[in-house]
Structure formats: C-alpha cells, structure tokens
Chain A
Amino acid sequence: MLSTLLLLPFVGALVLWIVPEKLAAEKYRWVAMGVAIVSFGLTLLLGWQFDITQPGWQFVEEISWIDAIGLNYQLGVDGLSFPLLLLNGLLTIIAIVASDRHINRPKFYYILILLLNIGVVGAFVARDVLLFFLFYELEVVPLYFLIAIWGGKRRGYAATKFLIYTIFSGAFLLAAFLGLVWLSGISSFNYEDLRSHTLSLTPQLWLLGGLIIGFGIKIPFIPFHTWLPDAHVEASTPVSVLLAGVLLKLGTYGLLRFGFGLFLDAWVQIAPWLAIWAAISALYGAVCAIAQQDMKKVVAYSSIAHMAFILLALAANTRLSLIAAVMQMVSHGLISGLLFLLVGVVYKKTGSRDVTYLRGLLNPERGLPIIGSLMIMAVMASSGLPGLVGFPAEFLVFRGSFPVFPTATLFCMVGTGLTAVYFLLMVNKVFFGRLPDYLAQMPSVTWGDRLPSLAIAVLLLWFGLQPGWITRWVEADVTALMEKSLESNAIQNQPFDLAIDWAIDRAIDWAMVTSLSSELSSGVGAIAPSLDIE
C-alpha cells in the first residue's frame, strides 16, 4: 500500500513525460490532480485501516535493495508520520488547484510537483535512515526547479541559496547517519536496529549535533534561516504552500524521529539549550515579522517563530509536549498553507504584497472580502485564538513544556503574543480602511481562487473544535517513546511537584535572562524527561 503511494505519483510523472508537449496546460493539470486525489484517497484508506491503539510501524513493507551498503527498501508508517502523510496529500491537491491554469511549461511543472510528492511521502514512510536521506534529498531537486523556473524576479538567487543551504543540510545528515552506523557497528540502516543500539553519550552528542544542524537548516532555526524568506518571496504560491506546509515539517519530523528517537541520552543533555534556542528563534522570528513590509515575508518569519514551538515541545520531552509537537506540525502546516494561499490571491489580484501600498481590501464590492475574512481567520488561528487549530496546538506545547522549561516557555508565549501584533498590523494595513482608487478596479475573485483556502479554513475550524482528530493518531506512539525515555539512563525519578516548585522559585529569584542560564547550569533539563504532567 505504501509503495503505491510512491508509485502513483511516479507513474503520473511518467505519463506526463510521455504525453505530447503541445497539450493545453489544463490537461496536464488534470492528470496531476487525478494522481494527487487518488493518492490522498489511498492515504485516507490507510487511515481507515490504521490501528491507533497500536504503537510502532504499520503497513510494513520490506525489500532487500543494496546489501553491500546495508540499504534496504523498508517502508512503514506510525502515529508520528501518518498525520504528516495526510497533510502532504491534502496540501499537494491544494497546491495543484491553486496553480495557475495557464502556467508556462505545464508539463515540467506538474512532473516536478509529483516528484516532490514522491520525495516527501518517501521521507515520511522510510524505515531505513539511508532511504529517508535519499528521499529527503530527492525533494530538493524538484523544489529547486520549481523556485528557479516559476519564481519571482530574484528566483535564481533564492533557488541557489536554497540549494546551497539544503546541500549543507544533507551533508550534515548523511555524516550523522553514516557515523551512527559506523559507531554502532551494525551493517544496516534500519531504524529499529539503530534505535535498539545505544551509543555512549559523547558520540551521541556529536551525531545529534550533526542532525540538529542538518534539520535546523531545513526547519529552519536561526541562524540557519536566511534562505527561507527569500525562497518564500520568490516561490510561486503553490510552491510556498508546499514549502511551508509540508517541506519544513521534514525537518521537525526528522528531529523527532531521528534526533529524539535515536539519541535520547544526548537529547536529554542538550534539551535546555534547545529550549533556549527555541525561545530565541520564536522571538527573533516574531520581531523580524513585525519589521517586514512584504506580506510573504511576514508569513515566512512567522513560520520561523512557530516552528520554534515544535523545538520547545521536543526539548521538553513530556508525553503532552511530544503529542503537541506533532499537532503543532499539522497545525502550522495548515495555517501557513492557508496564509500563503491568501497572500497569493492578494498578489494575483493587486499585483502587490506591500503592506504600505495595499489598503481597504475588505471592501465588500470591489475588494477581496472573502479572502480578507479568511485571512483574519488564519491570523487568528496563528495567534492561537480558541476555536481554531492553532489554539489546541500551542496550548498543548506550552502546557506540556512549561513544567520543564518555564522560562523558555514564557518567552515562547511572548512570541505567540507577538504573532497577534505582527499579523494584526498586517491585516489592519492591508484589509481595513478605504479601498484606494488605484485598487478599485481589481479583477474578480473566482471560486477557483477561494476554494483551496476555504477547504483549509474548514479544517482549521474542525481541528480547533476537535483536536482529538489529530492527537489520537499520535498518542500510542508517544506513549511508546516515553517508555523508552523512562528507561534512559538520564531518568531520575524526581517528583513532579518538586520540579515545578523548583522552577517557579528559580524564576522568581532570578531575572529572566539570568534565569535562563541558571536553568542550564542547574540541570533542570536533565530531570525533565521524567516530568510527565499527565
């Protein structure tokens, strides 16, 4: 079944490659759309058959591939990857719907979209770390071309920058994976085999460091983030949707699956540093977002800030925070996807994303009232307003992380407060006030422009009211992860209340910045994994 998810887009790409060049763009689009819909349908079927009470891999497939290097075609899906698989299926359809119907070189464009889909699906279902790496690298190629060919004025610069950063990301990952296999002394890249073999702390720290840098570039965390705003600004709307919605999640998924899963001891040691990094990233992203004039850059920096919450949740390493990490991935995927879609419509209709130029777009007759309303809904979701998906995701992150890293969590909460600041500034400037005369003759918005956004908006509301529809997939696997965590040497059975009291005392005694460093030195992070607030 999982192989079908990989084969379908491949066959679709093959069909597109074989059919004549001179067909109308619409026909290529329908082929790609058909493949994406069938793939998503299959993913839903997987979900139907998925046993949410059972942790571990399901729908396992295994074919021996290159024995000499220990590479095997091993696929499987568990509660951590399945929600992301669904998200990818959905956003791929939406990206195709949102693509320009008369796009240049449609054949190549849709082939690349399908190849991108293969790369992402493959990375999410790979049980072999080398196979994961191959798929992880595979998605770079179509994405590079998608930015470089169909991007904005500075697309060459943005695509090259993305490529260079991602190559470095891949290099660090490959080095870490190879180092792990070499140091473990086993001849396979199988994830479970590697997981069952525990290295000593020092090599773990080195290897984990490599993974964190590799995935940190992809996510991205500061200071590895500079490729992202450029890539978003230059990428076309559908590519931005996929980039923010799914591709960045490869990084956080990788951190959870491989960083946390394979190097738990080292993870626990550096968790306080990761929490601080998350807080800095969240605040830095938010402050940068406030300063932007390009709507896409605002959303891009917002992504940087919100992805940092996932790092905080992973660092906290409680059952709740790990569930929250996956939920935040899905939540951010939907919200950022919607935001980029809406910015794309604004740009398509007005020819600008400049917040100092745009104004009054909520005008009911000649503005973009539905798009504006959806934008307000999206920024509310991003700000964590109750009733929308951002609220349960961020609430779980903070609720799960606060007992372990109260100060870092508080800083991240300030970051989410700043989300309201920069997004409301943007919405106020762009959508409120009188529509200027130079924007009064915008072309009409079609339902084709609105439907993708409406589909995501419905999901924002649905998951906001029923967050259990996301968390239920994850719970069993997170419980299993926590059992492993409890077995870790780093576990010390400190009572929960004692740790809370200690953290609060420290927060009161010290100024905020001093408190951060004291948190490090006193080793709160070391006792953190045992603090399961549930």
Chain B
Amino acid sequence: MSQKASQNWTLGKVTVRDRPTTFPLYNCTAKVRGGQCPPYVTFLSHLAIIISFPLIAIYMTDQTLSPSQHPLASAIHDLESGRALLPHSDRNLVEVVGILESYGYVLDAYAINLNYIADHQCLVFFPWFKYFNGEFSLQKLLRHWWHDRINYEYAEYCMKGMFWHGGGGLDAYLDTDEFRQRIEPLIQYKFKYNPVMLGLHKLFPEFLPELVRQMCLYSGLGQFWRIMSDMFLSLSDRYNQGEIKTIPDVVQHILAGLVAAASNPITYRPTVGNSTFEIIPESQGITFLMDTAVPYVEAIFFRGTPFPGTISYNAQAYQIPLHQSDFAYGALYADPLPIGGSGIPPTQLMQDMRHFLPDYLHEIYRTEGRSETDLRVKICESFQKSMFCVTTAALKGLAPFPMDTTNPEEQAQNRQYLEQWMNRFTTSRLQQVRAGV
C-alpha cells in the first residue's frame, strides 16, 4: 500500500506531459532498438506499447488525486475539500468569531496609534506621548500609569518583527536609491535649525534613514491592520445577522476581504511642521496583500522572535536557528500556557483583547477552567484557532489554482503547494488545535 501510494504521489507530482518519458517499458524498448534483443521481442514490445498507450491515457485523464502521505495529510485533504485548517464545530465557530471581534477592536486601536506615530512622530527622538494619539491630558496620563489602557507596545513589537524579518515590496523599496532621495528633503526640513543633527547626519548617514524606514513600517502595518480590523468587525456583524454559520464561512469572509483589498496601495506621507512629504508614493505599486499582508503573516504568524519569558533560549547552544528564515516562534507556534509573565509580548495582546470580549464568549470562558484567572490562556487558545482560519484564507488566496479545480494537473500543483506549506506546520500548534487540545 505504501509503495503504491508513493508511486501515485510521484505521478501526481510530475506533470502528465512528462510522464511517458520515465516509463520503464519505453526505456527497455530503446534498448531493443539498439539491436540487443531478438526480432520477436521487438515486435511484442511494440505491440505492448501500442496497446498500452491508450489505456494509460484513459487512466491518467480519469484519475483523481490519491491521498497525501504527508504527516499533516488530513489538513491537506480538508483544504482541498474546501474546508479549513480548523475543523468546524459550533464551539470553534463561537470562539473564532468572538475572538476576532475583540481582535478587531484591538486592531482598530493599534492601527490608529501606528498611523498617528508614523504621520506625526516621524524623526521625533523622544516621543514621550506617542501612545496618546495627540490627545494628551493629565487624566489620560494618570490612566496610562494606572495601566488602564491599550498595550500599544504589542503593535510596535509586531512592527519590529516585520522590520527585522523583512520581505515583500515595501521592505525592498526601503533599500532603494529612490527612497533615499525622497527622505533627504524630509531630513533637511526637519533639522533645518539643528546644524548639530545635520552634521551628525553627514557623519552617520544611515542613522536617520533607518528611523524613517521604521516609520514606514509603522505606517505599513497601520494601514494593513486598518483593513483587517474592519474585516474582523464586519465578520462579527455578519455572524450576528446569521450569515456566518460555519468555519469555512469565516475563512471565505476573510479570503474575500483579502482579495478585495489585495491591490489597495500602501503609501506614506508624514507631516513635519506644516509640510507633508511623500515617502512612499502610490506610483511605487506597493500593495496591501503582497507587500504587507504576506510579509506580516511570514514575520508574525510563522517566524516571530524568541521573546524572553518563562523559557530561556541559548543561542550558543543552537537552541535558536542560525537563519532567520528557519525561525518558528510566531503566533501559530506559540504555546498558550506559559504566557502571562510581565514583558512577554503576546500577553499584552491577550490583555488587550480581554477588554473587548463579546458577552457570549466571555460567559463561556467564565464557566470553564479557572474562570477569570486563566482568561488570557483561553483567549490565546481561541486566538490561535482564529489565526489558523486567517492562515487558511491566506493559503487559499495564494494557491496556484483554486482549491475546487477539477484539472488533475492543477490539483497536483495545489497538492505540491499545500504539502510544502504543511512542512512548515509540522512543529506548529496545528495538530493540537485540530485535535481540540
């Protein structure tokens, strides 16, 4: 069974057009043509070929893909069948929609703050009140110190993650000459009365551009989350109206949102003093999906950073991969249990989401486990489920062909695509999430 399955898998992997060239009998025939076999053998061989070719053609056009042998084959088959990485259940649906609603509110706040910082705190070296969105008051300061606030630090953590891991057109643009040319007027204008800074800028020409690059990431992530926030809140509205009934519905909603916003331009025009500078013009062609969404998923969902917490990492002992591309510390790999210590970034997100939980989900959490005490763990578990839905939408959106294609060749390519992705999921929390652990 295993050997047969392996052969079939190879068949599916290689395109039909190439298939006969590897057929063993054909190779044998070539040898026969070399005159090493008696004439009757040659005749029988040719006869066999003539008879077998139509049969092979019939076999290959009628065939469907055989089951994948990948360790995460069940997930692959679910995706191919139009389902999601997260199996559907009423409980999963409530958790995912509920948590995405609270996430939507949190992202809304994050996006507003990221865009504010990008637009109004550009090249401000000590942005003391950057989390106040330009609305500073003593009362707000006291609330901030009392920690009655949104943890905007988490948004910055994600921004820095994207900045560090790079990828996509936005990241590539930041290293171009055009970018350097566009930011120079900004720098000159900002420090026109500050000869010391301008002198330092000449001495250390990478310092200020690097700060502006970071501001570009602030802006890029802010614009990305603006769209995602609206998408998650509209999902919740549709669920409340009874339009979302299954997990595949959730995935479809997200996929539609991603596709609709895919080509939205990402631009950046910070205001310094009374002047506005166009740092990322629309003409650069930097778009929502490929230049912010995909790098975000790669940086935050997959790679992440080994943040300090209850687990210590020893890079010298190779406990951290040598290459950034091999990192697997993202949201899809995060262990929900150790969260909660001070300074652990995901905890800040869970802390923020608990303020916006819909009542129906909060009530479920209250009746389970340690009620309010381990709320952040439960939020994290639900959040991880929802992120696998977002990932499903992203995988479907980026697949070479629609998942419901009937063309065997396209199916085969989709299979190859999915199996490559599943290789990355083998150490993720996917199996636990699917098993309901």
Closest CB-CB distance, A471 to chain B, in whole Å?
A: 38
B 352-390 binary contact with A (CB < 8 Å = 1; else 0): 000000000000000001110111110000000000000
Chain A residue at minimum C-beta to C-beta distance from B339: A365
Contact assessment for A434 and B337 in the assembled complex, using a CB-CB cutoff below 8 Å: yes
Contact assessment for B310 and A366 in the assembled complex, using a CB-CB cutoff below 8 Å: no
Please name all residues of chain B whose beta carbon is closer than 8 Å to the beta carbon of A360 when the two chains form the complex. 310, 338
Chain A residue at minimum C-beta to C-beta distance from B340: A364
Bound-state CA distance A443–B368 (Å) is 11
Closest CB-CB distance, B372 to chain A, in whole Å?
A: 10
Give the total of A residues in contact with B, Cβ under 8 Å: 15
- Given known pairs A435-B338, A441-B369, the reply for A365 and B377 (CB within 8 Å) is yes
CB of B80 within 8 A of chain A? no
Please name all residues of chain B whose beta carbon is closer than 8 Å to the beta carbon of A443 when the two chains form the complex. 370
CB of A479 within 8 A of chain B? no
Closest CB-CB distance, B348 to chain A, in whole Å?
A: 13
CB of B311 within 8 A of chain A? yes
Bound-state CA distance A366–B373 (Å) is 8
CB of B230 within 8 A of chain A? no
Partner among A363, A440, A441 whose Cβ is within 8 Å of the Cβ of B310: A363
Contact assessment for B340 and A435 in the assembled complex, using a CB-CB cutoff below 8 Å: no
Contact assessment for A363 and B371 in the assembled complex, using a CB-CB cutoff below 8 Å: no
Please name all residues of chain B whose beta carbon is closer than 8 Å to the beta carbon of A444 when the two chains form the complex. 370-371, 373
Contact assessment for B370 and A366 in the assembled complex, using a CB-CB cutoff below 8 Å: yes
- Given known pairs A363-B310, A444-B371, the reply for A434 and B335 (CB within 8 Å) is yes
CB of B341 within 8 A of chain A? yes
- Given known pairs A363-B340, A364-B341, A365-B339, the reply for A434 and B311 (CB within 8 Å) is yes
Contact assessment for B369 and A435 in the assembled complex, using a CB-CB cutoff below 8 Å: no
A 346-371 binary contact with B (CB < 8 Å = 1; else 0): 00000000000000101111100000
- Given known pairs A363-B310, A366-B374, the reply for A434 and B338 (CB within 8 Å) is yes
Closest CB-CB distance, A364 to chain B, in whole Å?
A: 4
Contact assessment for B337 and A363 in the assembled complex, using a CB-CB cutoff below 8 Å: yes
Closest CB-CB distance, B385 to chain A, in whole Å?
A: 17
Bound-state CA distance A444–B370 (Å) is 6
Bound-state CA distance A363–B339 (Å) is 8
Please name all residues of chain A whose beta carbon is closer than 8 Å to the beta carbon of B370 when the two chains form the complex. 365-366, 443-444
Give the total of B residues in contact with A, Cβ under 8 Å: 17
Closest CB-CB distance, A368 to chain B, in whole Å?
A: 11
Contact assessment for A363 and B338 in the assembled complex, using a CB-CB cutoff below 8 Å: yes
Partner among A362, A366, A432 whose Cβ is within 8 Å of the Cβ of B337: A366
CB of A523 within 8 A of chain B? no
Chain A residue at minimum C-beta to C-beta distance from B368: A441
CB of A386 within 8 A of chain B? no
CB < 8 Å A-B pair total: 41
Contact assessment for B371 and A365 in the assembled complex, using a CB-CB cutoff below 8 Å: no
Bound-state CA distance A441–B377 (Å) is 12
Please name all residues of chain B whose beta carbon is closer than 8 Å to the beta carbon of A441 when the two chains form the complex. 369
Please name all residues of chain B whose beta carbon is closer than 8 Å to the beta carbon of A440 when the two chains form the complex. 337
Bound-state CA distance A433–B373 (Å) is 20
Please name all residues of chain A whose beta carbon is closer than 8 Å to the beta carbon of B341 when the two chains form the complex. 364
Partner among B311, B340, B437 whose Cβ is within 8 Å of the Cβ of A365: B340
Closest CB-CB distance, A21 to chain B, in whole Å?
A: 36
Contact assessment for B369 and A366 in the assembled complex, using a CB-CB cutoff below 8 Å: yes
Closest CB-CB distance, B244 to chain A, in whole Å?
A: 30
Bound-state CA distance A432–B310 (Å) is 8
Bound-state CA distance A180–B202 (Å) is 96
Closest CB-CB distance, A445 to chain B, in whole Å?
A: 8
Please name all residues of chain B whose beta carbon is closer than 8 Å to the beta carbon of A366 when the two chains form the complex. 337, 369-370, 374, 377
Please name all residues of chain B whose beta carbon is closer than 8 Å to the beta carbon of A432 when the two chains form the complex. 310
Bound-state CA distance A440–B377 (Å) is 10
Bound-state CA distance A125–B338 (Å) is 52
Bound-state CA distance A366–B339 (Å) is 10
Closest CB-CB distance, B338 to chain A, in whole Å?
A: 6
Bound-state CA distance A433–B312 (Å) is 9
Question: Which interface residue of A362, A364, A365 has the most chain B CB atoms within 10 A?
Answer: A365
Please name all residues of chain A whose beta carbon is closer than 8 Å to the beta carbon of B377 when the two chains form the complex. 365-366
Please name all residues of chain A whose beta carbon is closer than 8 Å to the beta carbon of B375 when the two chains form the complex. 365
Contact assessment for A433 and B371 in the assembled complex, using a CB-CB cutoff below 8 Å: no
Contact assessment for A434 and B369 in the assembled complex, using a CB-CB cutoff below 8 Å: no
Closest CB-CB distance, B333 to chain A, in whole Å?
A: 14
Question: Which interface residue of B310, B339, B371, B373 has the most chain A CB atoms within 10 A?
Answer: B310
Contact assessment for B310 and A365 in the assembled complex, using a CB-CB cutoff below 8 Å: no
A 435-453 binary contact with B (CB < 8 Å = 1; else 0): 1010011011000000000
A 401-432 binary contact with B (CB < 8 Å = 1; else 0): 00000000000000000000000000000001
Bound-state CA distance A497–B46 (Å) is 116
Bound-state CA distance A443–B335 (Å) is 21
Partner among B337, B371, B437 whose Cβ is within 8 Å of the Cβ of A435: B337
Bound-state CA distance A355–B90 (Å) is 40
In residues 355-397 of chain A, which contact B (Cβ within 8 Å)? 360, 362-366
Bound-state CA distance A263–B339 (Å) is 61
Closest CB-CB distance, B36 to chain A, in whole Å?
A: 65
Can you list 25 pairs linking A and B with CB atoms under 8 Å apart?
Answer: A362-B310, A363-B337, A363-B338, A363-B340, A364-B339, A364-B340, A365-B337, A365-B339, A365-B370, A365-B373, A365-B374, A365-B375, A365-B377, A366-B369, A366-B370, A366-B374, A434-B310, A434-B311, A434-B337, A437-B337, A437-B437, A440-B337, A443-B370, A444-B371, A444-B373
Please provide the 7 A-B residue pairs with the shortest distance between their CB atoms, ordered closest to farther: A364-B340, A365-B374, A444-B370, A365-B340, A365-B377, A366-B374, A435-B337
